[in-house]
Amino acid sequence: MESLRVLELYSGIGGMHYALKESGIHAEVVAAIDINTTANEIYTHNYPDTPLWNKTIEGITLEDFNKLSFDMILMSPPCQPFTRIGLQGDINDPRTKSFLYILDLLPRLCRLPRYILLENVKGFETSAARDRLVKTLTECGYTFQEVMVSPTSVGIPNSRLRYFLIAKISAENFSIQSSKILDAFPHPAEQPKVLSPSADTCQPEEEVQEGHVLYKLETKTDAQRKMSQNNDLSLRLIQDFLEPQIDMEPYLLPPKTLLRYALLLDIVRPTCRRSVCFTKGYGRYVEGTGSVMQGCVETEMESVFTGLDQCAEDEKLQRLLKLKLRYFTPREVANLMGFPQTFTFPKKTTTKQQYRVLGNSLNVVVVARLLQVLLS
C-alpha cells in the first residue's frame, strides 16, 4: 500500500504524529506546522526527520500547500475561543483566524485531501466555527462524522472529553458509520456520543445515592460520579500509569497550597480508576487543572478531612502533610495521555513547560482509534 502523505497543522508536541504511528497506518508526515517555540523544540527532539515549519498558517500560500501534495490533514486548532471558561469569542477571536484561513483555502487546493481529522474542546460543537467547517466540507463533497469522546472509553482512567470530526472525500462511495466509531470505543465509561447535526450534548445529572459523607467541597453528584468511576472495572488502575520510582520531594504540594486549596483538590490514590483532565496550568494553579496523587496511602482521607475546617492552621497543616499529596510527574501525565515511552523531553525543557505543552495536547490512543475508523 502506498504511504499516505500527511499534513499536521497546529502540531504541538506531536500528539497527532504519535497517534498516526499508534494506528498502524502506513503514512509519512510531510510537514508539521506550529509557532510555539517550546512545542517545536520537543517535536524536533522526537521527530528530527520531519520537516517542521515554524510559521503562522496564514503566512503559508496556497501554492506552498499545493506543493506538499498531501492526502490527509490532522489538526487541533486553538481551543481558547470555544472553552466554557473562556470568553467564547468563537470566529471573532483572533486565534480562530488561521482556522478560517484553512477553510478558505481548502476548496481552492488543486487536489483535495482524502481524509481530515480535527480535534477540539467540548463547546466547539455548538460554535459558528464548527458550522463553517461543516458547510465547507459539505460543499467540497466530504462525508463526515462528529463525536464527543473521552479516554475513559478506551479504558484509560482520565477524563478528557473532546470533540472530534473525521471526514473522507465521498467520491470513494463511503459514509463514516456511527456503529464503527462506537465499536472502536468499547468501554461504557463516558461512552462516545456521536453527534447528529442538532445534537444536544448536555448530559443528564446522575442520581445521587444518599449516605455518602462529603469531607470536601464537592457535591453529592461529584462524589457519586467518582465512586462509580472507581468501581468501573473496564478502566485501568492509576498505578499502571505511574513511574515506578520517583523522588517525590519536587512534586509535593507546598504548605501554602495545601492550606489554601485542600478542600478543592481532586485527590486520587494508585488504586483509583479515575483522574480529571490535566490542563496547561497544572503544577502552577490548583483548581480545575488536574488530579493530585495521595503519596501516603496508609493515611485515611476521612481522618484528615473530618472537622478540618475547625482546626487551627498548624494542626490543619500537620493533618494534610500526612497524606503526602503530590502532583503527577510530566511523564505520568504523558502516560495517561497515551504517549509511548519513546516520547521524551529535551533536557532543557522545564517542568512548568512540560505540564503546559501536555495540557495543550491530546490523547494519542483516542486519535489512533479514530484514524483506524477513518481508514477502515
Per-domain boundaries in the chain: 4-203+363-375, 220-358
Alpha-carbon span 266 to 229, nearest angstrom: 14
Residue-level pLDDT at 219: 79
pLDDT band of residue 87 (cuts 50, 70, 90) is: low
Answer left, alpha or beta for residue 11, where phi above 0 means left and psi between -120 and 50 means alpha: alpha
Q: Which residue has the higher pLDDT, 286 or 22?
A: 22
Tell me if residue 79 is catalytic: yes
CATH number attached to the domain at 220-358: 3.90.120.10
For residue 174, name the pLDDT band (cuts at 50, 70, 90).
Answer: low
- Region 167-189: mean pLDDT is 80
Q: Which of 232, 218, 219, 216 is nearest to 159 (CA)?
A: 232
Task: Determine the pLDDT at residue 206.
Answer: 33
DSSP classification of residue 329: P
The reported pLDDT for the residue numbered 156 is: 96
Tens digit of pLDDT for each residue in 137-158?
Answer: 999 999 999 999 999 999 999 9
Q: Does pLDDT of 318 surpass 80?
A: yes
Higher pLDDT, 92 or 329: 329
Instruction: Identify which has the larger pLDDT, 362 or 182.
Output: 362
Q: How far apart are CA 157 and CA 26, in angstroms?
A: 29
pLDDT(199) > 60 = no
Q: Report pLDDT for 203.
A: 34
When the pLDDT of each residue in the chain is averaged and rounded to a whole number, the result is 88
Identify the CATH number of the domain defined by range 4-203+363-375.
3.40.50.150
183: left (phi over 0), alpha (psi -120 to 50) or beta: alpha
Longest dimension (CA), the chain: 71
Q: Which residue is catalytic, options 79, 110, 202, 296?
A: 79
Contacts of 173 (CB under 8 A, 6+ apart): none
pLDDT at site 177: 81
Nearest in space to 337 (alpha carbons), one of 328, 325, 346: 328
Strands laid side by side in the 193-195 sheet: 52-53, 27-33, 4-9, 72-75, 115-121, 162-169, 142-149, 193-195
In angstroms, the CA 258 to CA 261 distance is: 6
Query: Would you say 137 and 144 are in contact if contact means Cβ atoms under 8 Å apart?
Result: yes
Does the structure show a pLDDT above 80 at 92?
A: no
Helices (H), ranges, the chain: 15-23, 37-46, 62-68, 97-105, 128-140, 178-184, 220-230, 255-261, 301-305, 313-321, 330-336, 351-359, 364-375
pLDDT single digits (tens) 265-293:
999 999 999 999 999 999 998 888 999 99
Which band of pLDDT confidence, cut at 50, 70 and 90, is reported for residue 30?
very high
For residue 331, CA distances in Å to 37, 307, 334 come to 20, 35, 5
Instruction: Tell me what the mean pLDDT of segment 355-362 comes to.
Output: 96
The pLDDT, as a whole number, for residue 204 is: 31
| Mean pLDDT (whole number) for 53-65 | 94
**pLDDT above 80 for 325:** yes
Task: Answer whether 99's CB lies under 8 Å from 66's CB.
Answer: no
Q: What string of DSSP letters covers 31-100?
A: EEE---HHHHHHHHHH-TTS-EE-S-GGGS-HHHHHHH--SEEEE----GGG-TTS---GGGSGGGHHHH
Please state, for a pLDDT cut of 70, what percent of the chain lies above it: 87
Q: What is the mean pLDDT of residues 204-225?
A: 56
Give percent above pLDDT 90 in the chain. Answer: 69
Lowest mean pLDDT among 33-42, 174-183, 208-217, 238-247: 208-217
Question: What global pTM score does this model have?
Answer: 0.90
Lowest average pLDDT, out of 78-82, 250-254, 340-344, goes to: 78-82
> Which of 180-189, 248-257, 303-312 is predicted with the least confidence, judged by mean pLDDT?
180-189
Question: How sure is the predictor about 37, in pLDDT bands with cuts at 50, 70 and 90?
Answer: very high
Q: Are 98 and 77 in contact (CB under 8 A)?
A: yes
